[in-house]
Structure formats: structure tokens, C-alpha cells
Amino acid sequence: MTRTTAPSDTSVLIVGAGPTGLTLAIVLARAGVAVRVVEKAPAFHRESRGKGLNQRGREIFEDLGVGEEATASGIEHITLRKYRGGVPVSDYVSFENNTPTADTPYASGLLLPQWRTEEILRGRLARLGVEVELGSELTGLLQDEGGVTATLADGRRIRAGRLVGCDGGRGSVRKLLGLSFEGATEAEECMVIGDVRADGLDPAYWHQWFDEDGGIMLCPFRGSDHWQLQAAPERDADGAVLPPSEESFQRTFDRHARMPHVRLTDVRWTSVYRISVRMADRFRVGRVFLAGDAAHVHSIAGGMGMNTGIQDAFNLGWKLALVHRGEAAEPLLDTYEEERLPVAAWTLRLTDERLGAVREGVRRAGVGTEAAVTEDTTTLRVGYPWSSLAWGGLDAGERAGGVRRGEGGPWFTLRGPDGPALRELAGEFGGLVRAQEEPAARDLLLVRPDHHVALRVPPSDAGEVAERLAGLRSGPSGG
């Protein structure tokens, strides 16, 4: 029997406790915004799923205060060992020739299982005083001028100022909004995935076997006895995909790897993955937003799914925080869809292109999944030059470079050569701006909370900085 209770209040309700929802919750909670996170699953999963952060994702984790913990849990450089006919034919070291710089402190991505990524984020969120509410499935939402009333499966109601759907491609928020999810799902082409033990296999390598009739890959993780397996599926006489199992994994491994001493055991997770390329036509309806897979899904080529969701959350989080704190007016929230919807469309195109490169690559001996990774997939070059928040300067909207090590928050950073003048200008806007003196700088650089350039002007035009910030705060409607 369900129970009906009076609504409880929060500023922002986040539906879904994956990396996207947890990132958003951290950004809001550390800004002092009341936030709740509901998750329909009854327990936290232990599945590898999306298995890594790209370079931009690592910058964001550094800003969130979990960069060191993530790095200690992951693998920065791994050797991809390629096989043909069961014989090793080449080794490829990921990010081998990349060098850190002041503007790009992370020269590599980071390989770690999604369960560990989420564990790290939950720990940070807990230290901010917020716990994920498990077993809480959203079944209804109703919004009005004052907020959103969410109904859960057990009859509870939560009243929130705003609601964000981070509940995945099959989630309920987008469906309850009645938004379309245009695109297609590949009916025939698919692969099987699982987490398995592979005793006897060297964990120094990400092993990749590709032959004319299919292939199999086994990727290790630091501090774990389990590997992520990806393989072509077994099919029945009619061509239908057979459910993955420990036995089918072993048969596929034996056929391609030809290592009789290696046994695959203790299968903890299996899944059949079909490529789905879809995107919502809107990321906001009134007081409700979509982020991550709830808004867009695409090929796993390039490892951009989880990272794109994290970046959605990082973009939306500071905007929600400033509006709820009264530091910015409501129109700021319009820029979330303005900025992130085009990036999502670009990501769909890029991952489709990278998938094609992998398909072509694995046909040749010694080539494999490294074809999925390019400068674009680091997302360090993703910017918003078209945005209404790109206020001026050649690099307005672009990533500013560098990271703030665990000291991020919902404030702009004003960089420039004259420290006292910077502090005086920043002081006019209270908690909205912080000053950072850079004696060698020639310009005033106003950097957004998500590390993108808002405005670059000469010191003589400091008045424009004040004018822009005042406009952000005094929009036509309140938050």
C-alpha cells in the first residue's frame, strides 16, 4: 500500500544518482543550496559500465575536490596489447606522448570503473551533508510558477524549486515531460559486456583480440580482480543474440585468445549493449531540466557518455546555484540549453565518426580501439563561443585553461595585473566574483565558474566587467 504525505521542501531535486546527478549535487551542496538526490535502485551497483574520465572530466573532478582520490584509484597509462589469430602483434601505450602543461595539467585520461567513480563522488557529497535516497522512484511531477511537486512510487511527495532529470536514457523525467527522444537504436549490431575474473591473464595490459569472425577485449582495473569484458555476442541458428553468461564468455575467449590456462570466472555483471543515438529536442521545460543520458545517448566510442553528462552537470550546477542564492537572475538558466544542446549534437556526430574509425581499424592487424580517441574526445577544446554569456574578447566562451584544485564554487574569477583594482572591482559584487592577481597579464580576464572565458578586455575597460556582472544579477525576472 502506498502512503500519501505532505510535500517536503528542497531547492533542487535531482533524480538519478549516477555520475551526472552526483556531480550536480556536489556543485549545489558546496554552494549552500539545499539539494536532495533520489535513486530508484534499492542499492548501489558494483558494475564497471562507463570506465573512465577524459582530460576535461579530470579537471572537473579536481575542481570538485576529488581529483587526487580519483587518480589514486585509476590507471593513467595502459598498454593496449593487440592480437591476431591469438598471437600478439603490437602494443600501444595510451597517451604516451602527451605532456602536462600549466593550461592542460592532465595529459591523459583516467581508467577506472564507474562504480568506483560513483563511490568517490558519493563520499564527497556525504562530506557536504547529503546522502542519496535509495529505493525512491519518481512516478509523477507537476510544476507551477512556484516550483515542482514530485511524486514517488511509495506515495511520498517532494516539493522543490527545480527538478533535474539525471536518470538515464530510459528514465522517467523526460517521459513525464512528454519530450521526444529522436534518433535510432541499432537492431542488429551489438556487443556483450561483463565484469569477470580472468586468472592467469597479465593485468599490465588491456588485451584486445580481433579476428575476421569477431573479437573480445579484457580491460583491467587498479585494485580489482575483475576485468571488463567486451565481445561480439553468440547467436542462435536464426541469428538472434544469445544472453551472455560465464560459459559463453569462456567459449568466445577460447576461440579468439587461445590461452587455455586462462579461465573466466565470478561473473558479476552482464549486459547486451546496442548502439543508440538519440537526443531530446529540449533540455529544459520550465523548472525541470535534463542532463546526461536523460538528454542524449550515443555510441561508446571515445568514452564520452559519462564525461558529457558530468560536463552537463558542471555547466548547469553553477547557474542553478547563483540563481537560488540570489546572485543571478532567472534568464541565466536559459543558457544551459543554449550551450549544452549544440555540444550534445556535436558529440553524437563525433562518436559516430569515431565508431566508424574503430570499425575500420580493427580490420587491420595491430590496430584497435585507440582509433576512438582523438584530441576532440578529450573535450578540452569544447567551448561556447556562440553563447550569450560570451561577452567579448577573441577567446570568449572558450575554456580558460588550468584548474582550481578543490577550491571551486559558484563564482567568477577576475584575473588581471592590478591586484588592488581587481579586489575593489570584485568587492562590488560580493560572493559573485573573486580576484586573482596575475602581474604579467595584459588584460582583465573574467572566467566563469566552469572555467570558460566570459570576457577579456584591457584594464581601461574595467567598467564593462562591472556592467556585465550587474546585468547578470539584475535580469528582468528573479530566481
CATH code for the domain in which residue 193 is found: 3.30.9.10
Please check whether residues 329 and 417 belong to one and the same domain.
Answer: no
Please check whether residues 52 and 157 belong to one and the same domain.
Answer: yes
Percent of the chain with pLDDT over 70: 96
Domain-terminating residue out of 225, 250, 275: 275
- pLDDT of 246-263, one tens digit each? 999 999 999 999 999 999
| Band (4; pLDDT cuts 50, 70, 90) | very low
In a domain, 97, yes or no: no
Query: Which CATH number fits the domain that encloses residue 124?
Result: 3.50.50.60
Handedness of CA 375, 377, 379, 383 (dihedral sign): positive
Angle separating helix axes 55-64 and 305-324, nearest 10 degrees: 40
Q: What one-letter code names the amino acid at 357?
A: A
Please check whether residues 23 and 119 belong to one and the same domain.
Answer: yes
State the Cα–Cα distance between residues 260 and 419, nearest whole angstrom.
68
In a domain, 302, yes or no: yes
Q: Cell numbers 577485449 label which residue?
A: 217
Q: Which domain holds residue 175?
A: 8-76+107-183+277-378
Cβ 57 vs Cβ 118: under 8 Å? no
Percent of the chain with pLDDT over 90: 83
Residue 343 neighbours by CB distance under 10 Å? 18
Tell me the H-state helices in 362-446. Answer: 419-427
In a domain, 453, yes or no: yes
CA distances from 299 to 180, 215, 302, 311 (A): 19, 18, 8, 17
In a domain, 49, yes or no: yes
Q: Which helix (H) or strand (E) holds 26?
A: helix 19-30
Please check whether residues 38 and 178 belong to one and the same domain.
Answer: yes
In a domain, 170, yes or no: yes
The answer on pLDDT for 476 being more than 60 is no
In a domain, 156, yes or no: yes
* Beta carbons within 8 Å of 237's beta carbon, 6+ residues apart: none
Residue 275 neighbours by CB distance under 10 Å? 19
Query: Which CATH number fits the domain that encloses residue 401?
Result: 3.40.30
Domain-terminating residue out of 353, 378, 403: 378
Cβ 221 vs Cβ 196: under 8 Å? no
Domains of the chain: total: 3
Please check whether residues 145 and 53 belong to one and the same domain.
Answer: yes
- Mean pLDDT over all residues of the chain? 93
Please check whether residues 327 and 461 belong to one and the same domain.
Answer: no
pLDDT score, position 195: 98
| Band (97; pLDDT cuts 50, 70, 90) | confident
Instruction: Tell me which residue of 174, 106, 137, 175 sits closest to 38, measured CA to CA.
Output: 137
Please check whether residues 296 and 266 belong to one and the same domain.
Answer: no
Please check whether residues 48 and 142 belong to one and the same domain.
Answer: yes
In a domain, 101, yes or no: no
Domain-terminating residue out of 339, 357, 378: 378
C-alpha cell at 308: 558529457
In a domain, 206, yes or no: yes
CA distances from 477 to 295, 326, 329, 474 (A): 26, 11, 6, 8
Alpha-carbon dihedral 15, 138, 180, 353, rounded to 10 degrees: 40
Please check whether residues 261 and 224 belong to one and the same domain.
Answer: yes
The answer on pLDDT for 2 being more than 80 is no
Please check whether residues 235 and 285 belong to one and the same domain.
Answer: no
